[in-house]
Chains A and B, each alone.
Chain A
Amino acid sequence: MKNILQRLIYAFGPSGKEEEIRSVLKEELAVTGLQLKTDALGNLIATKPGQGGRLMLAAHMDEIGLLVTHIDDKGFLRFAPIGGQDPRNLLGSRVVFADGTMGTIGAETIKEAKDLKIDKLFLDIGAATSAQAEEIVQIGSPAVFAPHFSHQGDRIIGKSLDNRAGCALLLAVIRDLPPVDYHLDFVFTVQEEVGLRGARTAAYHLHPDLALAVDVTRTGDTPESPPMAVELGKGPAIKIKDTSLISHPRVRDLLKETAHSRGIPFQLEVLARGGTDAGSIHLSREGVPSGVISIPTRYVHSPAEVIDYRDLTNAASLLSAFMQQEQLFPDL
Chain B
Amino acid sequence: MLLKRLSAAFGPPGQEGEVRDLLRREIGPYVDKIWTDALGNLLAEKKGLEEGAPRVMLTAHMDEVALMITHIEDTGLLRFKTMGGIDQRILVSKPVVVGVKKVPGVIGSKAIHLVTPEERKRAFMLRDLYLDIGASSREEAEKLVTVGEGAVFNSSFCLLGDNRVRAKALDDRVGCSALVEILQRQYPVTLIAAFTVQEEVGLRGARVAAFGKDIDLALVLEATMAFDVPDSKPHETVTYLGGGPALTIMDRTLIADPALLASLRKTARERKIPYQLRRTGTGGTDGGAIHLTEDGIPTVVMAVPCRYLHSPASVIELSDYHHLVDLTSAFLSELTEGRADK
Among A66-74, A247-255, A259-267, which stretch is in contact with chain B? Answer: A66-74
Are the CB atoms of B280 and A40 closer together than 8 Å? no
Across the A-B interface, the 3 shortest Cβ-Cβ residue pairs: A80-B281, A16-B255, A201-B296
Is A177 located at the chain interface by the 8 A CB criterion? no
Are the CB atoms of B235 and A70 closer together than 8 Å? yes
Are the CB atoms of A69 and B279 closer together than 8 Å? yes
From A17, A78, A191, give the contact of B258 (CB < 8 A).
A17
Are the CB atoms of A78 and B235 closer together than 8 Å? yes
Is B330 located at the chain interface by the 8 A CB criterion? no
From B235, B253, B281, B295, give the contact of A39 (CB < 8 A).
B295
Chain B nearest CB: distance from A202 CB in Å?
A: 8
In the complex with contacts A16-B258, A70-B235, A39-B296 CB distance below 8 A: yes
In the complex with contacts A16-B250, A40-B297, A70-B234 CB distance below 8 A: yes
From A15, A69, A139, give the contact of B255 (CB < 8 A).
A15
Contacts of A140 in B (CB 8 A): 249-250, 277
Instruction: Produce 1/0 per residue, B243-279, CB < 8 A to A.
Output: 0000001100101001000000000000000000101
From B235, B258, B292, B298, give the contact of A69 (CB < 8 A).
B235
Is A41 located at the chain interface by the 8 A CB criterion? yes
Chain B nearest CB: distance from A96 CB in Å?
A: 19
Chain A nearest CB: distance from B296 CB in Å?
A: 3
Cα distance, A100 to B53, chains bound together (Å): 39
Is A234 located at the chain interface by the 8 A CB criterion? no
Cα distance, A227 to B277, chains bound together (Å): 44
Q: Can you name 19 A-B pairs with beta carbons within 8 Å?
A: A16-B250, A16-B255, A16-B258, A17-B258, A41-B298, A69-B281, A70-B279, A78-B235, A80-B250, A81-B281, A119-B236, A139-B277, A139-B279, A194-B255, A200-B292, A201-B294, A201-B295, A204-B296, A205-B296
Cα distance, A119 to B280, chains bound together (Å): 10
Are the CB atoms of A67 and B258 closer together than 8 Å? no
Instruction: Produce 1/0 per residue, B283-298, CB < 8 A to A.
Output: 0000000011011111
Are the CB atoms of B279 and A197 closer together than 8 Å? no
- A-side interface mostly: mixed
Is A213 located at the chain interface by the 8 A CB criterion? no
- B-side interface mostly: loop
Is A295 located at the chain interface by the 8 A CB criterion? no
Is B282 located at the chain interface by the 8 A CB criterion? yes
Contacts of B296 in A (CB 8 A): 39-41, 198, 201-202, 204-205
Is B143 located at the chain interface by the 8 A CB criterion? no
Instruction: Produce 1/0 per residue, A26-44, CB < 8 A to B.
Output: 0000000000000111000
Is A232 located at the chain interface by the 8 A CB criterion? no
Is A82 located at the chain interface by the 8 A CB criterion? yes
Contacts of B298 in A (CB 8 A): 40-41
Is B185 located at the chain interface by the 8 A CB criterion? no
Are the CB atoms of A197 and B280 closer together than 8 Å? no
Is B342 located at the chain interface by the 8 A CB criterion? yes
From A81, A197, A204, give the contact of B295 (CB < 8 A).
A204
